[in-house]
Amino acid sequence: MVNSDYLKNLNEAQKQAVMSLEGPLLIVAGAGSGKTKVLTSRIAHIIKNKKAFPNQILAVTFTNKAAKEMEYRVSKILGSSATGLSWLGTFHSICAKLLRKHASAVNLNSNFTIIDTDDQIRLIKNICKAENIDIKQISPRFVIAIIDKWKNKGMYPNEVKINHKDIYEKTILPVYRIYQQKLTELNACDFGDLILHSVKILEKNIDIRQIYSKNFKYILVDEYQDTNFIQSKWLNLLAEKNKNICCVGDDDQSIYSWRGAEIKNFLDFDKIYENTKVIRLEQNYRSSKNILSVASELISNNQNRVGKTLKSTMTEGDLIKLNCFKNGKDEAVGVSDEIEKIKKKYSLNNIAILVRAIFQTREFEERFLKIGLPYRIVGGIKFYERSEIKDCVAYLRLIHQERDDLAFERIVNNPKRSIGESTIKTIHEYSKKNKTSLENSARKMVHENLIKPKAKLGLSLFLDLVSKWRNDLKIKKYNHVKLLQILLDESGYSAMLKNKKDLENENRLENIKELLSAMKEFDNLESFLDHVSLATSIDKDWEGEKINMMTMHAAKGLEFDIVFLPGWEEGLFPHQKSIEEKGHNGLEEERRLAYVGITRAKKNVIISFSMNRFYQGDWIDSMASRFIDELPENNLEKNSYFDENKDTFDEFEFNQDIELDDNSKRSPGWIRYQKRIK
């Protein structure tokens, strides 16, 4: 059934964006302004007015979900006339289609295989082994990340110019060269190749480029602020002939620079495409006026932006709550108390807690488990189910209980100690035959010389360490928190994570630091292990509605009635690393992340920070995030803690010149600030 009234459901700016069909168009679509509606209506308008056939329209998204949603909405407007949109899909799916047609141009057959991350890791491992590169020093995932970075910049191995400040690039470049050769030999490519090869084909073969450039009368791109260099170049080549390229996005929601996105593509659109028309979608259909006022005031502090003024169609709504707490534990209690008050009015599915870093979920998980509030971790794993946490707990379980075979099996070769599957199998057989634990079996087999020399050496060292740790605990040389720190160092586990340079391992280290903080809340090892057992089993039966917990990055594109934004403290948010690595640009991206967090909310936003936090098992003083100073006072409702501690709060203002006597008890953000003002 055809919907001929599709234009009547649009506001004036949306209608203009749909009907402006000639020449390059940049649609600056603010949060909740109906950009998907505009894109789909524009495709329908082109087809309905016979400006192009469906197969002459290129519509590009970042996710399969977005592509399917777009296709569904177009078909709702046009009915059967929407069939034939054969070039609607993700960057990767469309490039794969193009590449299969012209595979020979890059020395591939049309039936090439697209390898996944696991295949990539295996291939990189084999190459590193052959080239005598220690994967304990440079992890395969890190190698893949660097190769992806080069591919996103449009560079084959012979085009890479090494950054001499980066000690790893010199080692990785030869691996990249061999890796590409291997892929060609295997008649395969990775996801990065899909776009890189497509660009190279279009660049080097004018006849092929002209075919596609002429065919695509209209090009539409969703979430343009998230494009990287090679994606932008690919679009530029395809738009060469007709120039009817329409890109939709929001520069204020550009938060993915860490995976190659370049906000420059969005900001310089009118320089790339002459005679660009810019249309701003400023009518917000999601959030209350107060929420938009706070978000707009905050983001106005960024310099690198196109600029827009969002207007809400909703009521004023409640003031944004700004809560200060004594510590992180009190913050978790405060959030849970707030949820208890509102859960009768709002579904738990419509409540979200958005954090800057995934380790922050721990204190909330602990609290929710204690009081029976069901929750889910969106786009991640619950704290005590994360592999590094399970590894640490397994070490502690084995020290506590030598008959814990599951713990023994998990950590006996973690990190690697040359104890392979065959050795573990042999220990299992001995254990079964002699009806004794795996640890005891291993000790007897080492003593009786039943283990191969290399494995015996690794196993002996491991068993000696376990005995030492067990004795240290028995004589109370260390408490359970210090014991974990010691065993992580002595086992080589910490070194394993530190030496493998990639983002995943950095997150794992942060999670372990949070675990140390959690352990300090318990008097001894036994009570802590009991707590972990209960925490990992208590929520297995939870069904139905659940509170959503996720990072702000994972929340992009989602919306909720109520949004909690905890942990707004210097060093945590804006994140220390982001500012250290990217300076002013890093700060602006962190502010955009705050903007994304706030604009996920429809009804209420509750921002909070703590004056003290547990960090690596020690209390540290925190400072309120500088972003809090940028929020408009008239739109805020502060909790009683502000009044009760008025004198104290004068010290916590970001611009206050404070002399510190003990930096070890200060947050990274506080220390950084002191260095800046001296």
Element (H, E) at 609: strand 601-615
Q: Of how many residues is the chain composed?
A: 678
Q: What share of the chain is helix, strand, coil (3-state, %, to 5)?
A: 55, 15, 30
Is 222 an annotated catalytic residue? yes
Q: Which residue in the list 71, 190, 193, 223 is annotated as catalytic?
A: 223
Judge if the upstream peptide bond of residue 566 is cis by omega within 30 degrees of 0.
no
376: annotated active-site residue: no
In sign, the C-alpha dihedral spanning 629, 631, 636, 637 is: negative
Give the list of residues 6+ apart from residue 421 with CB closer than 8 angstroms, or none.
none
Residue 616: enclosing H or E segment and its boundaries?
Answer: none
Burial of 491 (0-12, 13-18, 19+ CB in 10 A): buried
Crossing angle between the packed helical segments 191-204 and 206-215, to the nearest 10 degrees: 100
Q: 3-state DSSP call for residue 26? A: strand
Which residue in 35, 151, 356, 603 is the catalytic one?
35
Distance CA 480, CA 527 (A): 10
Selected catalytic residue, list 73, 600, 626, 666: 600
What is the rounded (10 degree) CA torsion for 615, 617, 621, 624? 30
Distance from C-alpha of 628 to C-alpha of 224, rounded to nearest angstrom: 29
- Please tell me which residue in 40, 120, 180, 253 is annotated as part of the active site: 253
Residue entry with tokens 């919306």: 559
Pairing of strands 57-61, 88-90: parallel
Q: Is 521 among the residues known to form the active site?
A: no
Selection from 462, 438, 439, 442 nearest residue 451 by Cα: 442
Other CB atoms within 10 Å distance of the CB of residue 507: 17
97 CB-side CA count, 13 A = 11
CA proximity to 649, closest of 631, 628, 618: 628
Compute and round to an integer the Cα radius of gyration of the chain.
28
Is 253 one of the catalytic residues? yes
The gap between the terminal CA atoms of the chain, to the nearest Å, is: 69
Q: Which of 36, 184, 576, 616 is catalytic?
A: 36
What are the backbone angles phi and psi of residue 115, rounded to the nearest 5°? -85, 150
Backbone angles phi, psi at 417, to 5 degrees: -130, 25
Name the residue with tokens 């942990």: 567
Closest by CA position to 145, among listed 168, 115, 177: 168
- Following DSSP, what letter does each residue of 253-311 receive, concatenated? G---GGGT--HHHHHTHHHHSTT-EEEEE-EESSS-HHHHHHHHHHHTT-SSS-----E
- Is residue 519 within 8 Å of residue 481, measured between CB atoms? yes
What tokens does 45 get? 């308008």
Cα dihedral sign, 48-49-54-60: negative
CA dist 539 and 31 (Å) reads 34
Candidate list 71, 193, 222, 588, residue with the active-site label: 222
Written as six digits, the tokens of 448 are: 């009786």
Please tell me the distance from the alpha carbon of residue 411 to that of residue 415, in angstroms, as a whole number.
7
3-state secondary structure of 404: coil
Q: Which helix (H) or strand (E) holds 549?
A: strand 547-551
Q: Which residues are catalytic?
A: 35-36, 222-223, 253, 600
